[in-house]
Amino acid sequence: MKILHLGDLHLGKSLLDFDLIKDQEFILNQVIEIIERESVSAVLIAGDVYDKSVPSEAATRLLDYFLGEMATRKVTTIMISGNHDSDDRLNFGSSLFKHSHVFISAKYSGLLDRWVADDGKTKVNVYALPFVKASQVKHYFPDAGIENYEDAVRTILENTEIDDTQTNILVAHQFVAGKSGDPSLGGSEGAGTQSVGLVEKIGFDLFDKFDYVALGHIHSPQKIGRETVRYAGSPLKYSLSEVNNKKSVPIISVNGVKDIDVQLFPLTPLREMRHIRGNMAELLKASADFSKEDFIYATLTDEDIVNDAMGIFQQIYPNTVKIDYDNSRTRAVEQVDISQIARNKSFGELISEFYRLMYNCEISDEEMDVMRMAAREAGVLNEAN
């Protein structure tokens, strides 16, 4: 039996002003081609199905299309919620979907959902653990002494009957770490995961009873601790931190009880993400080296600020997402102790000094008024200033 592992679809996501729904449809069609070609019997979707708790109409249509394609091909689909998903919205229609072998576990209810994937020759128990917080699990096990995420997941698994003589797979959406360290972070999960430190971290050895663990939450594809505890990663690059990722989907081949192989199948996006660096003239000439439709993050090394750099870039690279600078001025700013600069200085003095450092000239009264207005709207400056 072959089982394909997906995670972190983030349907409906955009790169700043660029809508990614066509890119997501393109990559899901590529996944469908792999499923067809490799005779896949089941698909596991490990959470963050949508990018927002209230998904767009286009995002829901795309998920409906994908699930319909799975049902038409009689591919069993097991899907859990992630921290980006609304439990209730993802769970909508789940009772009806079961008749098409689409199973959704959107909210932990005190017991792990379990379904059997069966291709007529091989049977696999698939357990579904949607994204959970310690407080949710405490509700069902008030005497378990749950203090953090690892305690919560351990308690869930200790209260789940697992037959060790059969092949067992877990689908989960959590931050799982190996003995040698944390997973490589990427995408929207990076900053949030780092900020919670040890509170969110779960050791991979909690899952020793499972023959494969299909993880979601981290966008960089990778194994954790052992080959069969794995993040599929997001199918597309969703942030600059993922620019060097090689996206793929794992296919788990279950050859018999406890006999599992994992093979990665590469994915090719509709539009690649690139980070290019150099002076303006050099970068505009480099356009022949790759598709002009790619998503571009550009770092300019010009010493002088280029007027309307974004407008110029988008004439050549229409999908330029962001432009920043790396020159003597920006490096000087990075080396400055911000806390010392701000001491005993007014808002006007701080803005004037920053403007002078960046542009080598004085800020105008009109520009200062705009900065004050923006600061008041952001709540960092009161009306008296």
Return the minimum-mean-pLDDT range out of 4-13, 137-146, 171-180, 238-247: 171-180
Residue 270 CA neighbour count, 13 Å, CB half = 14
Residues 36-85: pLDDT tens digits? Answer: 999 999 999 999 999 999 999 999 999 999 999 999 999 999 999 999 89
Confidence of residue 338 (pLDDT cuts 50, 70, 90): low
Could you tell me if 249 and 6 are in contact, meaning their C-beta atoms sit under 8 angstroms apart?
A: yes
Number of domains in the chain: 2
Final residue of a domain: which of 266, 290, 308? Answer: 266
Q: How far apart are CA 247 and CA 88, in angstroms?
A: 30
Q: Is 201 contained in some domain?
A: yes
User: What integer best gives the mean pLDDT of the chain?
Assistant: 88
Tokens of 24: 């997501």
Backbone conformation region of residue 101, classed left if phi is above 0, alpha if psi is from -120 to 50, else beta: left
Mean pLDDT of the 359-379 span:
80
* 69 and 93 share one domain: yes
Helix, strand, coil distribution of the chain in percent, nearest 5: 35, 25, 40
Q: How far apart are CA 351 and CA 372, in angstroms?
A: 9
Tokens of 315: 């004439």
Could you tell me if 264 and 37 are in contact, meaning their C-beta atoms sit under 8 angstroms apart?
A: no
Residue 119: its pLDDT value, please?
87
* 198 and 257 share one domain: yes
Q: Is 157 contained in some domain?
A: yes
In DSSP notation, 181-197 reads BPPPP-TTHHHHHHHHG
* 363 and 240 share one domain: no
Q: Give, as one character, the DSSP assignment of residue 339.
A: H
* 238 and 322 share one domain: no
Q: How far apart are CA 25 and CA 65, in angstroms?
A: 9
Residue 182: its pLDDT value, please?
64
* 254 and 300 share one domain: no
Q: Is 294 contained in some domain?
A: yes
Residue 286: its pLDDT value, please?
76
Q: Report how far Cα 129 is from the mean position of its chain's Cα atoms.
A: 18
Q: Is 126 contained in some domain?
A: yes
Final residue of a domain: which of 251, 266, 281? Answer: 266
DSSP E strand boundaries for the chain:
2-6, 14-15, 18-19, 42-46, 76-80, 102-105, 113-118, 123-129, 168-173, 175-177, 201-203, 212-216, 222-224, 226-231, 248-256, 259-266, 273-278, 295-300, 320-325
* 259 and 289 share one domain: no
Residue 180: its pLDDT value, please?
56
> Phi first, then psi: what are they for 362, rounded to 5°?
-85, 145
Residue 64: its pLDDT value, please?
94
Tokens of 90: 């993802």
Q: Is 149 contained in some domain?
A: yes
Q: Are strands 222-224 and 226-231 parallel, antiparallel or unpaired?
A: antiparallel
Higher-confidence residue of 320 and 346: namely 320
Residues 205-251: pLDDT tens digits? Answer: 999 999 999 999 999 999 998 999 999 999 999 999 899 999 999 99
Mean pLDDT of the 180-189 span:
60
* 202 and 302 share one domain: no
Q: Is 383 contained in some domain?
A: no
CATH number where 194 lies:
3.60.21.10
* 329 and 240 share one domain: no
Could you tell me if 124 and 167 are in contact, meaning their C-beta atoms sit under 8 angstroms apart?
A: yes
* 88 and 217 share one domain: yes
Q: Report the share of the chain in percent with pLDDT over 90.
A: 60
Final residue of a domain: which of 216, 244, 266? Answer: 266
Confidence of residue 196 (pLDDT cuts 50, 70, 90): very low
Q: Is the whole-model pTM more than 0.85? A: no
Could you tell me if 81 and 53 are in contact, meaning their C-beta atoms sit under 8 angstroms apart?
A: no
Residue 29: its pLDDT value, please?
98
pLDDT higher than 80, residue 184:
no
3-state class of 374 per DSSP? Answer: helix
Q: Are strands 222-224 and 212-216 parallel, antiparallel or unpaired?
A: unpaired
Cα-Cα-Cα-Cα dihedral sign, residues 271, 272, 278, 282 = negative
Residues 251-302: pLDDT tens digits? Answer: 999 988 888 999 999 999 999 999 999 999 999 887 777 899 999 999 999 9
Residues 130-157: pLDDT tens digits? Answer: 999 898 999 999 999 898 889 999 999 9
Q: How far apart are CA 77 and CA 188, in angstroms?
A: 25
Could you tell me if 8 and 49 are in contact, meaning their C-beta atoms sit under 8 angstroms apart?
A: no
Residue 285 CA neighbour count, 13 Å, CB half = 5
* 370 and 328 share one domain: yes
Burial of 89 (0-12, 13-18, 19+ CB in 10 A): middle
Confidence of residue 193 (pLDDT cuts 50, 70, 90): very low
> Phi first, then psi: what are they for 172, rounded to 5°?
-145, 155
Residue 186: its pLDDT value, please?
62
Higher-confidence residue of 258 and 196: namely 258
* 77 and 215 share one domain: yes
Q: Report how far Cα 272 is from the mean position of its chain's Cα atoms.
A: 17
Q: Is 332 contained in some domain?
A: yes
Residue 195: its pLDDT value, please?
37
Q: Report the share of the chain in percent with pLDDT over 70.
A: 89
* 243 and 291 share one domain: no
Q: Give, as one character, the DSSP assignment of residue 383.
A: T
Residue 179: its pLDDT value, please?
63
Confidence of residue 100 (pLDDT cuts 50, 70, 90): confident
Residue 137: its pLDDT value, please?
93
Q: Is 331 contained in some domain?
A: yes
Residue 2: its pLDDT value, please?
96
Tokens of 72: 């038409």
Range of the domain at 326: 273-378
